[in-house]
Structure 1
Amino acid sequence: MCWLKNVPLNQQMQLMRRSRPMINGSRLMRWQGYIIASIANVLKHQHQSMASAYDMLKSLKEMFGEQNCAAKQTAMKALLTTKMVEGSPVKDHMLKMMSYMNELEILGIVIDKKSQVEMIQQTLSDSFQQFRLNYNMKKIGLSLAKLLNELTVAESIIKQQTPLPVA
């Protein structure tokens, strides 16, 4: 696997731009080789004739930049429209919300930790209303991992307090 795939495209372009004047012929060919090896066959033919690795990256960014925007919109919509279903496990809901936030971070949208906790609290079912009230009254600062633990404890207390239906 090419290490260049793990670097965001805009950072790759900056790296190429900074190192462009200092790269000798063999190093430039190696950079171009990395890029060509890491893209699909259809794109290889189109980009093999380009003069520099910088031009290749710029062309690829122009092609796929709009797809990244659509992916951001889809991930953000999923995060903002998710609501915990009453009676479903809070752990599953938290993990789903955390995965949406990780996806957004990968796409370049960074949400600070405090806002993440606030957003997750707003998606909880109504049975967690007392938990939200306590959190806001005490101004508790929690990480996502601690929030998951606290919500799991709160869920077990809520289940104990809920009377069983009588047949």
Structure 2
Amino acid sequence: MDPTSLIVPHAAAAAHAAWVKEKKEVVVLMLLTIDLEIQRNLAHFGAYDMLQELKAMFSKQSEQELLQTVREFHACKQEEGQSVSSYVLKMKSYIDNLERLGQPVSQNLAVSLILVSLNKDYDSFVQNYNMHGMGKTVNELHAMLKLHEDTLPKKDATPALHAIRAGRV
């Protein structure tokens, strides 16, 4: 009997055993990172089948999350008195969510969507931005808007605050 003929099957068996061990480790890791109820339903699956089952379980949920994110993103407008920073961060969260859901938004479109939904205090900023075709990223636009916000006249306080300051309350 040739000694090399025993080496190849032994090496193949060792490689297979290592693969099986790693496959079990992946399954255990996957099970440990998911909800207990889902664990119970998936405990008997291998890694590949578990992924397929998870995709089937959550694809509808992902579609619903995409629809909801698009709806909220489209309806988002800067509210009167809302700081531009909190508004842009909210818009950025929608943009990040869309990317996570496999629907990335280009920088130009993201900037445009932010600009068109700013409140009227930023009309001159938007007009200036559009005339000069600045082509900035969302982060650059955010910094520019914060600087512009500092130049805006401070809004009058609420009537109740005026009354308190005047000593009428």
User: For residues 138 and 128 of structure 2, what CA distance do their matches in structure 1 show?
Assistant: 17
Q: Distance in 1 between matches of 2:146 and 2:27?
A: 51
SS of 1:84's equivalent? coil
Q: Which has the larger radius of gyration?
A: 2
SS of residue paired to 1:127: helix
Structure 1 runs not aligned, ≥5 long: 1-20
In structure 2, what is the Cα distance between the partners aligned to 1:24 and 1:141? 51
Aligned with 1:25 (options 20, 24, 31)? 20
Name stretches of at least 5 consecutive residues in structure 2 with no aligned partner: 1-15, 163-169
Amino acid at match of 1:151: L
Matched residue type, 1:77? R
How many residue pairs were aligned?
A: 142
CA 1:29–1:137 in structure 2 vs 1: closer, same or farther (change >3 Å)? same
Bigger drift between 82-91 and 124-133 goes to 82-91
Query: 1:41 aligns to what?
Result: 36
TM-score computed with the length of structure 1 as normaliser: 0.75
Q: What is the DSSP-based 3-state SS (H/G/I as helix, E as strand, rest coil) of the residue aligned with 2:134?
A: coil
Aligned to 1:94: 88
Identity %: 25
The corresponding residue for 2:166 is: none
Give the TM-score taking structure 2 as reference length: 0.75
Distance in 2 separating the partners of 1:153 and 1:47: 52
